[in-house]
Structure 1
């Protein structure tokens, strides 16, 4: 197999929620693989700082939970600048509370941020990809797509939804030349997991529970993303790729 299958030169990638954490790491990785990268988030100041750190990348600020704002931003970019060949739906949030006490507004916010955003941006970008007969969509799911832990039941529901929405995207759009897949990270060192990383008891439990015996590093997600964003995955569709140190394979 030629290494050229993984070459992203000449491709443009939009990564949502990419000013920090997993999104930023994936943006950097796709850039290093040759892609032209466009960062997205709601905070323009943070986006500009991230863009300055990477160098040579563009920013496209919009709220992924606002369907019309998403469509307007994508359509304007496609008309004025050029096409998106790759979309990474990474934007997401967490809220930890026992289910019996979980606030209704927090539940709705999780659904909008983690699920509606995938629909909003996925649909807006896919409409253009379909016209061209090609495109790559990579949704970020989670180890909680398959597993649950106390205090995060709504988050688990959202990530299960991301996996099934990914399958739906593939079912509807593969006929038009799109490949729609998901990456399901395990426990990684990110700002979203800062509270867990600072808990020695949890870290000790995680290291025993994970066959690899450690937290993941965000750079270890890059290879999976490049694979799913490149020609190397031309017949991979509707798949959820777990990158979790073996945690879903082991009791």
Structure 2
């Protein structure tokens, strides 16, 4: 009870501001479209100064413009968003960008790619491309920004993993491996930088309607099968993933690190292929 009392009389928490990001600088890598664009808008709506980094310069600029137009809560201000063209597979470019950004309060890595083929049909070049963008890019980005966060004693890094890090299907070999690797990489980073106040977490979405899932959406049977597999019996919208990123960057999650936040509509919690009569 003594320890509980000591904690209770510690610093006061302003719960109304728990998710606010006013004055905080957050880079969203892969922010030009899909989930990344929605994360940019959500962070800006909560007051963050967002850097929209993407190889697609025009898309990054459009996302920054959309974020600037995003309304904030009554009595609060909308943050800012600035486009930053960036090739995350160019290590020198990443280091130079990190130097320009200065010390970040948050980094959200949403860049990713998938090539759906059975293992025997995969080429080595395709395998390397998936692993490079989904895993090595995070390695490069973390090495570029985490030391400065550690010097300040704070920071939050969020990586977009996938439910495929835990549950697979034919045709997902390289993608699933890269996302499982990302989860373990972020957990290791959490262990290494935790003593210096830097947090690392992953978000694991289920099926989300973005350009990355165009191949599935084009097949009505495939689309419907995926919709019926989760507890909510539908696909996610990209904006439904953005709140998880805001949470993990904000002070609402200051004791959350080394974790995976699953946002999959209950897919991994249920067996959606058969519903028995009870």
Q: 2:32 & 2:96 partners in 1: Cα distance?
A: 21
Give the drift of 1:50: 2.4
Kindly state the Cα deviation for residue 43 of structure 1 after the two structures are TM-superposed: 2.2
Render the CA deviation track for 1:164-216: whole Å, top value 9, x for unaligned: 01101100011110111010000011010011112110122112211100000
Which of the two has higher C-alpha Rg?
2
1:168 aligns to 2:208 (yes or no): no
Which of the residues 160, 176, 179 maps onto 1:156? 176
CA contact (8 A) 1:130 1:178 kept: yes
2:210 is aligned with 1:186: no
RMSD: 1.2
Instruction: Give the one of 10, 23, 28 matched to 2:36.
Output: 23
TM-score, normalised on structure 2? Answer: 0.86
Please state whether the residue corresponding to 1:92 is helix, strand or coil: coil
Structure 1 residue 54: Cα displacement: 2.6
Deviates more, 1:89-98 or 1:56-65: 56-65
CA displacement at 1:97 relative to structure 2: 1.2
RCO comparison, higher one (Cα < 8 Å, 6+): 1
Extract unaligned runs of 5+ from structure 2: 1-12, 69-79, 272-278
Structure 1 residue runs of 5 or longer lacking an equivalent are none
Deviation at 1:250, TM superposition (A): 1.1
- Any conservation in 2 of the 1:89–1:122 contact (CA below 8 Å)? no
Cα displacement string for residues 190-247 of structure 1 (whole angstroms, at most 9, x for unaligned residues): 0100111121101221122111000001111122111110111111110000000000
Q: Deviations over 1:7-50 (max 9, x none)?
A: 11111110001100000011111111111111011122222222
Partner of 1:120: 140
1:63 aligns with 2:87: yes
Distance in 2 between the 1:97 and 1:206 partners? 18
Task: Verify: 1:45 aligned to 2:58, yes or no.
Answer: yes
Q: Does 1:246 align with 2:259?
A: no
More helix by share: 1
Deviation at 1:122, TM superposition (A): 1.3
